[in-house]
Amino acid sequence: MPLSVDKAIRKAQSLIKKGRSDDAEALYQELLAAFPQSKSALRAHADLRAKIDSGATPSAEPTVDAARQIADLLERGEFVKTLRLSDKMLRQLPHSSVLHNVQGAAHRRLGNFDQAVESFKKVLQIAPNNALTHNNLGVALTDIGALTEAVESFNNALEIDPDYADGYFNLAVAQGYRGDIDAAIDSYKHTLTLTPGRADAHYNMGNAQLQKQRPDAAIDCYRRATEVAPNYSKAFNNWGNVLKTQNQLPAAIARYQQALEIDPDYANARVHKLHLQAMICDWAAASGDPASVASIGISGEEVAPFSMLTLEDAPERHRLRSQLFTQNKFSPSRLPALTTPADRPQKLRVGYFSADFHNHATMYLIARLFEAHQADNFELYAYSFGPDKHDSMRQRLIDAVHLFTDVRELQERDIALLARQHGLHIAVDLKGYTQNNRSAIFAHRAAPVQINYLGYPGTMGADFIDYMIADAVVVPPVYRDCYTEKIIQMPNSYQVNDATRAISERPVTRAEMGLPVNTFVFCCFNNSYKITADEFDVWMRLLNSVDGSVLWLLQCNLWAEQNLKQQATARGIDCQRIIFAETLPQAEHLARHRLADLFIDTFVYNAHTTASDALWAGLPVVTKLGQGFAARVAGSLLTALGLPELITRTTADYEALILQLACNPQSLAAIRQKLQQQRLSAALFDSELFAQHLEEGYRRAYDRHFDQHDPEHIEIEP
């Protein structure tokens, strides 16, 4: 030890005078370990023990009974009472490591993370070589996002106790949050070397392997977790998630079902199962589910909001689900509040954030907007957290914006900080709660004004999203209360379109696409999860009414095809009359729409990009207007195109209009001619006009912020 025997004894005696007998005891133990034959150290230590035993020198720690009393309160979850009693005891025992440790634990359980950090630091001032306390401090530091300090605390714990399994586990968690996934995996391996039967370490390592794009390794970890803990429902759920990404849909459903057999109230597993059953069009299994869709995700456990958009058309419940999801998923940002500049900026810096900056439906819609923004008044930034596919759409974006940044490897907090360094005035989230989103970027406030646009057709339920781009059809005033964002209401459609999209000129025939030559072709290229029994019943009645007609659907997955054919047969329709279209390059896909006679829409979740594809290619779309955003998009597009006569409001009207058009070639020809005439003149495909309107919305939204007014609905005039 660094102190001499005499100096150590003098320090111990000073500690005794301050009432810190326990610290003096610890110092004597350290002294005697270094100088076991020192008579002066032995005498001083014996004197201290005698005084403590006689009560002449009080201990710095509470009595056994008092310690047991406060520990019982903590164990029972009575954290407020724990703090009150420990405060009272600390007035008498200010240097009690036990009491400060108890306070740290109680504060953490109450969510008082900063106070927990301070309490654990006080413990370490008293007993610096306590591995458990270093670990506890690391956990509390992780809670507040101080990840570098947390990693240091866990390493301190492991330096004291190299076999501390919890230390390795918590170190891995902090490393994972910090984005150091390889280090996290190594720490989980250390944990499992020390405690091979620790299921949560297998589970967490599976999640980490998934982040490293190693699905098979992730599945192996989830399998091991369930072998160790057969009732580990979360491991079965995540196992199912990986199988879904591998397109092993029935196997994924089976894993979700295993999770639900363990925990019937596991809402996320149920939503995942129902969504996949919708993807494979297994309506019987989905309808036989014992849970009520209407009650899922409203309270208790949050669920993925996007999946629920596909399961029911209920905008008020969608808002409640998004609010619960946001509340449970996103902690308040610890970044400093953004300040308003002294002068109103002449040029607004707008940042667009997405994982889809490549050949993707989003880019097919929005690419022209980036080029149409006025460079004199707007400076565009693009933040990509998706794959770099080096394709034409990505290059087109890079050429159009002021600065393109690939932020895949950055954590959400660091992306928000980068956007702040760029001085963004407006941040536009193009993902919302769709797959591969990074919504936590916006929880950290990347810009003073933040907008939900295009990717997610619903409310995000987040106080960190100020506005949503919409129109009077997708969000009419009567439904505005179903959206937590204020609406920037576009005068035509909310959906941007690219009037430069190429349509292949290569001649294509029905025979080439597997379609009959002289018959009516009903078409719906929506994803399979949008098709429900309700519209399918209508479609089968239409096939029955229109001799020789066929239904042309998009090829999604083998199981959906099999189930749809079985459902057709069960309704008395030859399953050969359902024809599935293979995936084609965008220009060729657009061209083949010309082979169909009429696009017929789905109900709960309309055709979105799919509808604009059809209309751009000259194929009329018949839709039914629902209640929520996702169920009203096709109606928005048709309104902006000047074809409101193709919008219906009931299932009966939808069926009647489609049948009337299918049986009256002159009526359908008139609609097609009107579509061709208005396709290039109506507002829907006027990218420059859309950009002007959107820029006005951006300016007015930022002006409200600059003038220190709260966000408010903004209506853009035509």
Residue 86 burial (CB count, 10 A): 26
pLDDT in tens, 138-150: 999 999 989 999 9
Say if residues 275 and 260 touch (Cβ distance below 8 Å): no
Alpha-carbon gap, residue 99 to 86, rounded angstroms: 6
Say if residues 63 and 94 touch (Cβ distance below 8 Å): no
Say yes or no to pLDDT of 223 above 80.
yes
Determine the pLDDT at residue 44. Answer: 77
Say if residues 197 and 165 touch (Cβ distance below 8 Å): no
Query: What's the number of CA atoms in the CB half-sphere (13 Å) around residue 257?
Result: 13
pLDDT in tens, 504-540: 999 999 999 999 999 999 999 999 999 999 999 999 9
Say yes or no to pLDDT of 330 above 60.
yes
If you average pLDDT over every residue of the chain, what do you get?
94
For domain 348-490, the question of CATH label 3.40.50.11380 is answered with: yes
Determine the pLDDT at residue 12. Answer: 78
Residue 30 burial (CB count, 10 A): 15
Nearby residues of 371 by Cβ (< 8 Å), 6 or more positions away: 396, 400
Give one word for 572, left, alpha or beta, with left for phi > 0 and alpha for psi -120 to 50.
left
pLDDT in tens, 230-240: 999 999 999 99
- The segment(s) of the chain belonging to CATH 3.40.50.2000 are 521-685
Determine the pLDDT at residue 15. Answer: 76
SS3 track for 484-522: CCEEEEECCCCCCCCCCCCCCCCCCCCCCCCCCCCCCEE
Say if residues 348 and 702 touch (Cβ distance below 8 Å): yes
State phi, psi for 499 to the nearest 5 degrees: -75, 5
Q: What is the mean pLDDT of residues 116-127?
A: 92
pLDDT in tens, 241-298: 999 999 999 999 999 999 999 999 999 999 999 999 999 999 999 999 988 999 999 9
Q: Which residue shows structure tokens 């900056």?
A: 357
Sign of CA dihedral 536, 539, 545, 548: negative
Helix locations, 95-160, DSSP H: 97-109, 113-126, 131-143, 147-160
Alpha-carbon gap, residue 136 to 153, rounded angstroms: 9
Give one word for 91, left, alpha or beta, with left for phi > 0 and alpha for psi -120 to 50.
alpha
Q: Which residue shows structure tokens 């009732």?
A: 231
In angstroms, what CA-CA distances link 168 with 186, 212, 633, 683? 9, 20, 50, 59
Say yes or no to pLDDT of 599 above 70.
yes
Residue 583 burial (CB count, 10 A): 9
Alpha-carbon gap, residue 378 to 395, rounded angstroms: 20
CA dihedral 519, 523, 639, 633 (to 10 degrees): 170
pLDDT in tens, 556-569: 999 999 999 999 99
Helix and strand numbers (H, E) in the chain are 31, 14
The amino acid at residue 431 is: K
The token pair at 276 is 């996949």
Kindly report the pTM of this predicted structure: 0.89
Say if residues 542 and 658 touch (Cβ distance below 8 Å): yes
State phi, psi for 621 to the nearest 5 degrees: -125, 130
Of the candidates 707, 694, 714, the residue with the CA atom closest to the CA atom of residue 350: 694
For the domain spanning 521-685, the CATH number is 3.40.50.2000
Q: What is the mean pLDDT of residues 473-489?
A: 98
Helix (H, G, I), strand (E, B) or coil at 214: coil
pLDDT in tens, 62-74: 887 887 898 899 8
State phi, psi for 452 to the nearest 5 degrees: -95, 120
- The segment(s) of the chain belonging to CATH 3.40.50.11380 are 348-490
Q: Classify residue 466 by its DSSP letter.
A: -
Say if residues 484 and 460 touch (Cβ distance below 8 Å): yes
pLDDT in tens, 410-423: 999 999 999 999 99
Q: What is the mean pLDDT of residues 705-713?
A: 97
Say yes or no to pLDDT of 51 above 80.
no
Say if residues 575 and 514 touch (Cβ distance below 8 Å): no
Determine the pLDDT at residue 1. Answer: 46
**Comparing 663 with 46, which gets the higher pLDDT?**
663
Nearby residues of 64 by Cβ (< 8 Å), 6 or more positions away: none
Residue 128 burial (CB count, 10 A): 12
Nearby residues of 24 by Cβ (< 8 Å), 6 or more positions away: 12, 13, 15, 16, 48
Determine the pLDDT at residue 59. Answer: 63
Q: What is the mean pLDDT of residues 647-672?
A: 98
Alpha-carbon gap, residue 437 to 447, rounded angstroms: 17
